[in-house]
Structure 1
């Protein structure tokens, strides 16, 4: 048991917690289709940052970073697309 490496557990827990913390907002935004309170600039920067973390994780072959950022990127791109779509719709009215 002395040889057990606890470090990867921290990576997986961090990945799990940060991804789960993002889910309620993503689900609410997708269900309600309300993006009024979301900043387009902030979400664009956030989505770009998540993409960069994913690429970094791939480069360093870090599974927790790859898994967490893959899931978060899918959700972030979805919300960003909804923000762009509904912001465009509001301008057309």
Structure 2
């Protein structure tokens, strides 16, 4: 394995591993409400494009790192769905601009 490949692998490990503290925190607090859907969507599209680029250029490091990052993003999306509080679900059912206290 060449020096450039090792550099890419180290970068992939660090950037993918950077998601671990966020995943652990979401799991411990059972909350992912502070993570926006638009953030996950835009980042997911970018990660998917990087993975496609890696496939096109036959770069295993890029494909592997972005596949692991996509797994982390999908896990965060699953946490957002699974850990929704009942107040979040109730608020989603209220008319726009209304808060749970305003519904009386």
Please report how far the alpha carbon of residue 79 of structure 1 lies from its aligned counterpart in structure 2 after TM superposition: 0.7
How big is the shift at 1:68?
A: 0.8
**Equivalent position of 1:8 in the other structure:** 5
**After the TM superposition, which of the residue ranges 74-83 and 60-69 deviates more from structure 2?**
74-83
Structure (1 or 2) with the larger CA radius of gyration: 2
Name which structure has the greater RCO, CA cutoff 8 Å, separation 6+.
1
Residue-pair matches, total: 90
> Matched residues in 2 for 1:55 and 1:29: separation?
29
* TM-score normalised by the chain length of structure 1: 0.79
TM-score scaled by length of structure 2:
0.72
Match of 1:37 in 2: 34
Q: Structure 1: which 5+ runs fail to align?
A: none
Aligned to 1:92: 90
Taking only aligned residues, the RMSD between alpha carbons, in angstroms, comes to: 2.2
Q: Secondary structure at the match of 2:18?
A: helix
Q: Which moved more, 1:78-87 or 1:35-44?
A: 78-87
Residues 51, 62 of structure 2: 8 Å contact kept:
yes
- Distance in 2 (CA, whole Å) between partners of 1:50 and 1:30 is 23
Task: Give 1:9 shift.
Answer: 1.4
